[in-house]
A and B are shown apart, each in its own frame.
Chain A
């Protein structure tokens, strides 16, 4: 069971770390800004020390940083990538999502408030997620007609909406940003 580090939620910041604790979450919460390694352009640097000293991180990563075109995998440490969920209260939760899980399973693992009434069988729209426009094209699972039919019913439908149960976590989705939609009273007068 992944350890949960309960840090005070700060609205607008990058929120609470869930899952295996690493320096990433700590550094973000403490400093409140995003750290990147310029060599490997990874948005996350896995240790507090390396965060404060990016060049040290490059050295530690060794040969991988010698060439900027060298393949680096964000999931190398633990077979997981980082995914950001903005929940219905507007709070952002960072999680390490396991490669191969679909987003509904990821939400369930981290107790995020995303429901899956039909258990991922494309029969409802309860796992409706709004994908950040920048990330929408990076999802390799194509939208099927069935998914579109279900999405059509959902509240708060956008051009970058997906059903969480249909999106599988891959390497390319490291840093994926999602919002769990909520509706207002007038969303549908029925």
Chain B
């Protein structure tokens, strides 16, 4: 400890002299030394990022997997992002992007490169009556009643954003008489009323398999009817709420197509919950047999500590493999990648497909494959 003195800085200097530490008043390196430092190795050459081995991607007991580099995303910033958020809050709207903690939020809400900012609005509130182990949307036994102004407000927001493709989704409302089917359908109708040209994709709940509810939404005017099967049959007990079901979800997709054959149907699978390749292949086959046209595959990411731990981080090459499998099975479109989500770039894929079909180019072998299955 330094003795008490009136000039502490001087005391430090004196201490340094005593301790043979060079005073920092001026540089104490020779020009040669400084040159050697400047031209020599930098810090980054000493830090080696170890290559990811399978050990780092599959969870072992008691371990917590670290996020692999391909899943790291930027923090959302920017004017577009904030403008969108203001619009949503101003109209009292919720998005699944926020509620389910989607990693792509910055990218979609930020827009850019000729791509308008977009969000997937979640209607019927932000509280779901089901508790699935993969989903961070709030769960409540009896959520607040449906907001009757929501369909109109959603229509207004979508019209204001000037997007040409929008995805609407919702929570499960097992407490409402028709599970919210009419509310959902009216939202689609309100959007179409204000902009007949916008393409609407509805990502619906299972309505407990009720055919009248499914039909109400299927006939509301949307172009794409989406319902996510989420995982393989063998993991349904673990991943989804007990009220959801593998067969039930397939029937939702089948019935929508039956009610309105012009619909494009779509579903999604999460990878990394502990499924095997055979199980995923079986699920893709089942989806194709149920007439599903588009499928997306993405990496499951644990949203909070209360939710299922990630069993495996599937590398991008594996996702590419599943994309090829999807193409070979005859899906009109297969979107597969770690950060791919059901509504991720949904518009671009769909519109690209439509445009190509119209111009006569057969880049996808959708029709020829359909005739052979």
Which residue numbers of A lie inside 8 Å of B, CB to CB?
Answer: 4, 6, 9, 16, 89, 91, 108, 111, 113, 115-119, 121-126, 146, 153-155, 182-183, 185, 187-190
Contact = CB atoms under 8 A, between A and B. Distances in A.
Contact of B133 (A16, A115, A121, A182): A115
A126 B133 contact: yes
Contacts of B61: 9, 89, 91
A173 B11 CA distance: 63
A138 B100 CA distance: 38
A155 to B, nearest CB: 5
Given A111-B62, A188-B245, A182 B238 contact: yes
A187 B237 contact: yes
B242 A154 contact: yes
Nearest to B237: A183
Contact of B242 (A16, A115, A153): A153
22 contacts: A6-B62, A108-B305, A113-B309, A115-B306, A117-B131, A117-B139, A117-B306, A117-B307, A118-B138, A118-B139, A118-B140, A119-B138, A121-B140, A122-B141, A123-B131, A123-B140, A124-B139, A146-B141, A153-B243, A188-B236, A190-B236, A190-B248
Contact of B141 (A117, A123, A182): A123
A108 B242 contact: no
B47 to A, nearest CB: 27
Contacts of A183: 237-238
A17 to B, nearest CB: 11
Nearest to B308: A115
A189 B251 CA distance: 13
A189 B308 CA distance: 22
Interface string B352-373: 0000000000000000000000
Given A115-B308, A121-B140, 8 more contacts: A117-B135, A117-B139, A117-B307, A124-B131, A124-B241, A125-B242, A153-B241, A188-B237
A146 B242 CA distance: 16
Nearest to B132: A117
Nearest to B140: A123
Contacts of B305: 108
Given A124-B139, A188-B242, A189-B247, A108 B306 contact: yes
B139 A121 contact: yes
Nearest to B133: A115
Interface in B236-267: 236-238, 241-248
Contact of A116 (B129, B135, B238, B306): B306
B210 interface: no
Contacts of A122: 141
B13 interface: no
Choose among B62, B135, B243, B246 the residue with the greatest number of A CB atoms under 10 Å from its CB: B62
B64 interface: yes
Nearest to A16: B62
A9 B135 CA distance: 31
Contacts of B141: 121-123, 146
Q: Chain B CB within 10 Å — which of A16, A108, A124, A154 has the most?
A: A124
Contacts of A182: 237-238
B233 interface: yes
A123 B237 contact: no
Interface string B119-146: 0000000000111110100111100000
Nearest to A146: B141
A189 B245 CA distance: 8
B234 interface: yes
Contacts of B241: 124, 153
A108 B304 CA distance: 11
Interface in B151-171: none
A118 B244 CA distance: 16
Residue of A123, A125, A126, A190 with most chain B CB atoms under a 10 A cut-off: A190
